[in-house]
Amino acid sequence: MLKLTGEIRTKLVLEMTTKRKSTGESPGGPPKKPNTAGHWSGGLVAAMEDPKLVVSSDDLVTVIRDAYPKAKYHYLVLPKENISSIKSATQDHLDLLKHMDKVGRELMTSEDTFKIGYHAEPSMQRLHLHVISDDMNSPCVKTKKHWNSFNTEFFIDSKVIIEQLERKGKIKLPSKDKCKEYMERPLKCHKCDYIPKHMPDLKIHILKHVTS
């Protein structure tokens, strides 16, 4: 088990305090300031051209590193086609979604466990598939919203989306009210039954589950 020194504990609490004081942050973590695409929510389209973030690309998709990673590994797979979000994906996009899933799975390392899927209500424009290791151990995880967006039904597995399109011809996303409920759900460790008092407590607790 990992022992925490007073210094690490203080750093974690300080990180949380600084976050609470800051204003103007978009849901994903970055400051809400315009980018080359004109609005913070267009930042992923600009990031697809940023050599510091691009990991790979082919005819159909670009893979970038998430600029505010919520875990040890956090990638986004984005189509080159201008599809605004999972909400506008249709059966016509089935082959593309399967390709994104395949490219996403190729990013997974064998030593880590990964999740691959979509946020029910994305904050950033351009369809994007999250490929994220399940440690959630990152300074960018600061709020309950950050936590719950990856650890409740707000996060929808890529295979579920593909199956819905194959079987029913359309994607059924949770309602606005359901999404709100997921975001407001009390914090809980994603690996055991631990119920933390608050985010700093949870951030300290999850270090128990980090193996290396």
Q: Contact between 119 and ligand AMP (CB under 6 A)? A: yes
99 belongs to the catalytic site: no
Q: Which is nearer to ligand AMP, 8 or 50 (CB)?
A: 50
Q: Which is nearer to ligand AMP, 68 or 194 (CB)?
A: 68
Q: What is the DSSP string of 47-84?
A: HTT-TTTEEEE-SSEEEEE-SS-SSSSEEEEEESS---
Binding-residue total with ligand AMP (CB under 6 A): 16
Residue 57's DSSP bridge partners are 62
Q: Contact between 174 and ligand AMP (CB under 6 A)? A: no
Among ligand AMP, Zn ion, none, what binds residue 43 when CB lies within 5 to 8 Å by partner kind? Answer: ligand AMP
Q: Contact between 194 and ligand AMP (CB under 6 A)? A: no
Minimum CB separation of residue 151 from Zn ion in Å reads 11
Residue with tokens 């999972």: 86
- Interface mask (CB under 6 A) for ligand AMP, residues 38-77, using x and -? -----xx--x-----x----------x-xxx---------
Residue 162 buriedness (CB in 10 A; 0-12 / 13-18 / 19+) = middle
Minimum CB separation of residue 7 from ligand AMP in Å reads 27
DSSP state of 140: T
Minimum CB separation of residue 154 from ligand AMP in Å reads 9
Q: Which is nearer to ligand AMP, 143 or 194 (CB)?
A: 143
Answer yes or no: are the C-beta atoms of 93 and 173 closer than 8 Å: no
DSSP state of 107: T
Q: Which is nearer to ligand AMP, 29 or 79 (CB)?
A: 29
Minimum CB separation of residue 154 from Zn ion in Å reads 20
161 SS3 class: helix
Among ligand AMP, Zn ion, none, what binds residue 29 when CB lies within 5 to 8 Å by partner kind? Answer: ligand AMP
Q: Which is nearer to ligand AMP, 26 or 91 (CB)?
A: 26
CA distances to 10, 23, 28, 30, 40 from 123, rounded to whole Å, are: 31, 17, 7, 11, 10
Q: Which residues contact 8 (CB under 8 A, 6 or more apart)?
A: none
Q: Tell me which residues are annotated as active site.
A: 128
